[in-house]
Amino acid sequence: MTTNTSQTVSTLPPVGDRLRRLPPYGFAIVGQKIAEMNAAGKDVIRLDVGSPDMPPPDHVLETLRQSVLDPTKHGYGSYRGHKVFREAVAAYYQRRFGVKLDESKEVLPLIGSKEGIVNLAQAYVDHGDEVIVPDLNYPAYSMGTIMAGGETIIMRLDPNNGFRPDLKSLREHPDLPKAKLLWVNYPNNPTGAVVDLNLYEDLVTFCRENRILLCSDNPYMEIVFDGYTAPSALQADPDKTCTVEFMSLSKTYNMAGWRLGACVGNREAIDALLVIKSNIDSGHFRSIYDAGAAALNDTPQGWIDQRNAIYQARRDKLLAVCPQIGLSPVRTSGSMYVWAKVKDGDDQSYVISALEQALVSITAGEMYGYAGRGYVRFSIGIADERLDEAVERLKGWYQRR
């Protein structure tokens, strides 16, 4: 009897270098493990992903319904996105921040801000170029840089100064002349940290001095508590000399799955991003634009305030329970997250044990950069009854350790 021990040899070519440099996306790995646990009959409560649990405003859904029934709205649109949505974004910035935008040249709709973040690196970064990213950052900033062939300069966020950037150390970095982009994000993911307009003024000055494009990722600008109002980086650069900002409807109007956002600001950067996007995608279904415009134009402030009151109550619940489950939380006034320090310092062991023994999924801080080691992140985008159940599970699990 002959045994065939030969292995299957791939007939495909090797993948590109950029893919070999790119680590697997952390949330995809976690999601796969949770799917396997659910398939095995285990009820995992997810406090790891920042996806709103509540629906969009009713008028947004009704606008979508009516638009879908219009037979004229099912064809291709403009690569710049539909005018009705661009005008709504411009009107929002004028109303909310006092920033005037030319909707035809300074507003570019995105398939969610994430794709715009990654594609901006494709527009600006070549091999040998550097991109400045915070030491705690949304992975798309650094992953987009890697895909474009660039390298990252790590900008320290000082936890003793409200997680604000350490610009003094950054000015002394030897590779600063190679930097093309600088990413900043407030209210911050993952820490929830908030800042005032003075920081953006300092960043605009820094970027002008060093010929760097300031990229403000601002998806949580309307998720705020304790009387805080989030500014826009464009308020510090009203002439849009060196600044773009990424805004998203995902968190502001509970429209995460709709994948609708925009890049606004410097028109030269907008044009560069458009060149990349027009070679990759063809924009949104028109009805999504109509619904997005309705969200921006017609959602009353009371709807946002009521939603934020629910989030604030959930935030406060997690802040109160953290000391009982071995965590020291950071109290902040924005975003949909609670950032907490693990008392024994091992975030990986903490989240693995919580998942396997309490069936509660939490994000390890290291997913957001080396500076996140020893921290964990909770999302408050979960129904109250499930949050209550997760809290009880975590308390029981921690007491049994």
pLDDT for position 23: 75
What the chain holds in terms of domains, given with CATH numbers, is 17-55+302-400 (3.90.1150.10), 72-298 (3.40.640.10)
- Confidence check: pLDDT of 41 > 60: yes
Averaged pLDDT for residues 157-184: 95
C-alpha 165: how far from chain center: 18
pLDDT, one tens digit per residue, over 209-256 is 999 999 999 999 999 999 999 999 999 999 999 999 999 999 999 999
pLDDT band at 22 (very low <50, low <70, confident <90, very high): confident
Residue type, 21: R
The values of phi and psi at residue 53, to 5°, are -90, -15
pLDDT for position 4: 56
C-alpha 277: how far from chain center: 19
pLDDT, one tens digit per residue, over 253-276 is 999 999 999 999 999 999 999 999
Give 34's contacts (C-beta < 8 A, 6+ positions apart): 44, 46, 355, 361
pLDDT for position 401: 83
pLDDT for position 31: 81
pLDDT band at 33 (very low <50, low <70, confident <90, very high): confident
> Is omega for the bond preceding 57 within 30 degrees of 0, making it cis?
no
Rounded CA gap, 163 and 241, in Å?
26
- Confidence check: pLDDT of 3 > 60: no
pLDDT, one tens digit per residue, over 359-398 is 999 999 999 999 999 999 999 999 999 999 999 999 999 9
pLDDT band at 9 (very low <50, low <70, confident <90, very high): confident
pLDDT band at 5 (very low <50, low <70, confident <90, very high): low
Q: C-alpha angle with apex 200: 158 to 107, nearest 5 degrees?
A: 130
Query: Residue 288 is inside which H or E element, if any?
Result: helix 286-298
pLDDT for position 363: 94
pLDDT for position 29: 79
- Confidence check: pLDDT of 6 > 80: no
Rounded CA gap, 142 and 76, in Å?
32
Counts for the chain of helices (H) and strands (E), in that order: 14, 15
